[in-house]
Structure 1
């Protein structure tokens, strides 16, 4: 080629390796660990929101906080997070039951 112009492969942001050297195989244990950490983090986040909501409600009752709007917003965030978690759990159970009904 003239001028030394070559086409460079597109790489995701933050990728610093060589295309040929990225042949690392992923094992089921890797996926299990990643899913475990993702699930653990999500549950901890919901728990933190529930705790924050309860603390803000207690502060409102005791008179330490006078902004009702912030308390209601925290309570609604915690409620929505809990509802979402329950729905994800229900979908996971439904998927598991569907898989168990499959004939192999």
Structure 2
């Protein structure tokens, strides 16, 4: 059975002294990737929902600070833009891989 070896992202962000990698089966790697993708999309959705709620409160005249509404709106916008850029880079990498001759 083929095994995929990679270092968890949390370890890559820390300074490394003794680098240890964990070997995952393809199924485990797929499940790990899908859970990271799902969590990321959920966070983007939560930021959008929070921004919408705060905007609605401001529009109804409830006691909400304008700067808090703007901050929530910008956070939602930035997370969406980052997700779109990541998606574009993944698609670009996939297309480049498909162009490679074997």
Could you say whether these structures have the same fold, taking a TM-score greater than 0.5 normalized by the shorter chain as the test? yes
**How well do the aligned residues superpose, as a CA RMSD in angstroms?**
1.7
Contact 1:53/1:71 (<8 A) preserved:
yes
Following superposition of structure 1 onto structure 2, how do residues 36-75 of structure 1 map, counting pairs within 5 Å? Answer: 36-75=34-73
Flag the structure with more relative contact order, 1 or 2, with Cα contacts below 8 A and sequence separation at least 6: 1
Q: Against the structure 1 CA distance between its residues 101 and 78, is the aligned structure 2 distance closer, same or farther, given a 3 Å change threshold?
A: same
TM-score by length of 1: 0.75
Deviation for aligned residue 1:64 = 1.1
Secondary structure of 1:66 counterpart: coil
Length, aligned pairs only: 83
**Distance in 2 of aligned mates of 1:34 and 1:50:** 25
Which one has the largest radius of gyration? 1
1:80 to 49, 61, 78: 78
- Unaligned runs of at least 5 residues, structure 1: 1-11, 13-23
Contact 1:56/1:65 (<8 A) preserved:
no
Larger strand proportion, structure 1 or 2? 2
